[in-house]
């Protein structure tokens, strides 16, 4: 485990210094989305530290060029213990997702925009008049690879490869996630990393600060704890890590 951690940290520290996407690039995804209340259905599915999560369904696509599914994620801010709204954290998550999508990171959602809370307001009871809409919605309560059956060897292997690749891509896109969370979609045998409100921006991969290295190590520790510690999965992980670091360096050198 320590050898894998060191190899990733060293490779990342030697990588090209990739600048964050210009903040102006985020504006196109933060435009308001307005829905017709008569063609929209909302159902509460959970609550986290930074907001309340709803399943949002619409009779037709809200945004062009999305898939045919009509299910989206609506995250509504809530008030913290000190009475401050978490809307800024949700907008920050949109900014992070924008950058990750621009840099072609796989296994993360897309932020479609800000959502003015005007429909079913009595049902939602938001702490703010604005939420964010994300895509896709994953209809799953499986939040760990370990939750799968031991017989699901092929699916586990596929998910492990996806988690490792997405995590390395995220680091090369100059972010480290705190409190790693993801959902498994058994229908497509894929996973999506969720809740990036606490993502740590990495100032430089070529010359990382102590805070950057600490955030990367913490993120990678969380990733590694999600890998079943059998000889088969560890050996496979070593191969995937080596391949993805090489691929990511080529990809992000072209983007920078």
pLDDT value at residue 35: 53
How many other C-beta atoms lie within 10 A of the C-beta of residue 66?
14
pTM for the full predicted model: 0.78
| 3-state secondary structure (DSSP) of residue 170 | helix
How do beta strands 175-176 and 190-194 pair? unpaired
How many whole angstroms separate alpha carbon 168 and alpha carbon 251?
A: 12
Asked if 75 and 134 touch (Cβ cutoff 8 Å), the reply is: yes
Written as six digits, the tokens of 178 are: 């705190």
Written as six digits, the tokens of 153 are: 């060897």
pLDDT value at residue 18: 29
pLDDT value at residue 117: 64
Asked if 14 and 172 touch (Cβ cutoff 8 Å), the reply is: no
Asked if 152 and 143 touch (Cβ cutoff 8 Å), the reply is: no
Q: What is the mean pLDDT of each run of 10 residues along the chain (256 residues)?
A: 39 33 41 56 84 78 49 86 83 94 94 70 55 89 88 90 94 94 93 95 92 95 89 82 79 58
How many whole angstroms separate alpha carbon 49 and alpha carbon 242?
A: 35
Asked if 130 and 115 touch (Cβ cutoff 8 Å), the reply is: yes
Q: Would you give the distance in Å from CA 84 to the centre of its chain?
A: 24
pLDDT value at residue 66: 46
Q: What are the chain's domains?
A: 2-17+140-255 (no CATH), 23-135 (3.30.200.20)
Asked if 55 and 63 touch (Cβ cutoff 8 Å), the reply is: no
pLDDT value at residue 1: 40
φ and ψ at residue 94, rounded to 5 degrees: -60, -40
| 3-state secondary structure (DSSP) of residue 96 | helix
φ and ψ at residue 164, rounded to 5 degrees: -65, -45
Asked if 95 and 154 touch (Cβ cutoff 8 Å), the reply is: no
Asked if 45 and 128 touch (Cβ cutoff 8 Å), the reply is: no
Cα Dmax for the chain:
56
């Amino acid at each position: 485990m320590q050898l894998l951690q060191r190899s990733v940290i060293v490779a990342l520290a030697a990588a090209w210094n990739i600048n964050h996407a210009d903040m102006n690039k985020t504006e196109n995804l933060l435009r308001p989305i307005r829905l017709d209340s008569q063609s929209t259905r909302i159902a509460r599915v959970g609550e986290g530290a930074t907001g309340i999560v709803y399943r949002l369904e619409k009779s037709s696509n809200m945004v062009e060029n999305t898939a045919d599914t009509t299910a989206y994620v609506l995250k509504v801010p809530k008030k913290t213990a000190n009475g401050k709204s978490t809307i800024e954290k949700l907008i920050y998550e949109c900014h992070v997702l924008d950058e990750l999508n621009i840099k072609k990171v796989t296994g993360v959602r897309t932020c479609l925009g800000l959502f003015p809370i005007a429909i079913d307001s009595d049902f939602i009871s938001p702490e703010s008049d604005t939420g964010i809409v994300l895509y896709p919605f994953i209809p799953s309560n499986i939040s760990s690879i370990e939750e799968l059956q031991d017989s699901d060897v092929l699916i586990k292997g596929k998910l492990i490869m996806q988690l490792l690749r997405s995590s390395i891509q995220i680091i090369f896109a100059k972010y480290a996630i705190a409190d790693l969370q993801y959902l498994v979609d058994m229908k497509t045998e894929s996973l999506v990393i969720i809740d990036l409100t606490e993502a740590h921006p990495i100032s430089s991969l070529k010359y990382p600060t102590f805070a950057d290295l600490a955030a990367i190590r913490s993120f990678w520790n969380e990733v590694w704890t999600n890998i079943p510690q059998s000889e088969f999965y560890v050996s496979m992980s070593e191969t995937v890590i080596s391949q993805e670091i090489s691929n990511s360096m080529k990809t992000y050198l072209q983007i920078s």
